[in-house]
Amino acid sequence: MQVQCQQSPVLAGSATLVALGALVLYVAKPSGYGKHTESLKPAATRLPARAAWFLQELPSFAVPAGILARQPLSLFGPPGTVLLGLFCVHYFHRTFVYSLLSRGRPYPAVLIFRGIAFCAGNGFLQSYYLIYCAEYPDGWYTDIRFCLGVFLFILGMGVNIHSDYILRQLRKPGEITYRIPQGGLFMYVSGANFLGEIIEWIGYALATWSLPALAFAFFSVCFLGLRAFHHHRFYLKMFEDYPKSRKALIPFIF
C-alpha cells in the first residue's frame, strides 16, 4: 500500500520543534541531568546513566530503521533513504556505543520519559518526510547542498565522538569527579561535544534541504547551545585556573 504524503503533520511537527527550541531559550535553564542534576529534587527517581541513555536514544534509531527496512535495498537509492540512513548512523552510535560507554551520573527518570517521547516523535517526523514527502532532482548527489551538508555532518559527528572520548577519559569507572577537559576543540570551547553535534545537524539540514531537518537543527542550536553556556559557567565557577580564553560554544566568539 502506497503511503501518501500529508503536509499537515510535517508542518505541525516542524513547528513543534521550533516552539520547543524557543521555549528552551525562554526558560534559560539547563535540563536537569549531568552537571545540572541538582536542579531537580534530590528525591527524584534515577536510572544508571548507561540504561538511561540507551532507553532515551533507542526510538531515534528504531523508528527510522523500521521505516527504512520497508524500503527497497540499494546503496545509492533515492536520496531520501540515503539521508535517513545517515540519521540512523548517528543514532546507532548514540544508542549502542555512546550509551554503553557512558560514565555519567544517574539520570532522572522523568527526563528519560520526556526524551523517549521527543526522540520517537522527531525520529518519525524526519523519517516520514524523507521517505514519503521529499522530492530531489536526479543530480542531488552532486549538488553542492548535499555534498557540503554531508561533509559537515561527518565532520560534526567526528568532533562529537572525539570530544565524548576526551570527556570519558577524565573519569575512571565509578567516579563522578569533574576535571577540566583538555585537547581537541576543548582547547577553544567548553562545549566541544555540543558544537560537534550542532555542526552535524546543520549539515544534515543542508543535505536534506528540508523543513523538518531545519527545525531540528534550530532546536539543537537552542538546546545544546544553552547547555554549553551553562557548562561554561559551571567550569568557571568550579575551577579557579580554568582557561580564561576558552569560550562556551564558538571558538574566539561565544
Give 135-188 pLDDT, tens digit per residue: 999 999 999 999 999 999 999 999 999 999 999 999 887 777 889 999 999 999
With a cut of 70, say whether residue 36 has pLDDT above it: no
Range of the domain at 192: 140-253
State the burial class of residue 78 (Cβ atoms within 10 Å of its Cβ: 0-12, 13-18, 19+): middle
Alpha-carbon gap, residue 101 to 164, rounded angstroms: 10
Percent of the chain topping pLDDT 90: 81
- The contacts found for 170-174 with CB under 8 angstroms, 24 or more apart, are 171/103, 173/103
pLDDT band at 38 (very low <50, low <70, confident <90, very high): low
Beta strands in the chain (DSSP E): 46-47, 107-108
Regarding whether 241 and 150 lie in a shared domain, the answer is yes
Q: How far is residue 68's CA from residue 210's CA, in Å, rounded to a whole number?
A: 18
- The answer on 148 and 249 residing in a single domain is yes
Q: Is residue 126 part of a domain?
A: yes
- Residue 1's pLDDT is 64
pLDDT of the residue at 72: 81
Whether 178 is in a domain gets the answer: yes
Residue 76 pLDDT > 90? no
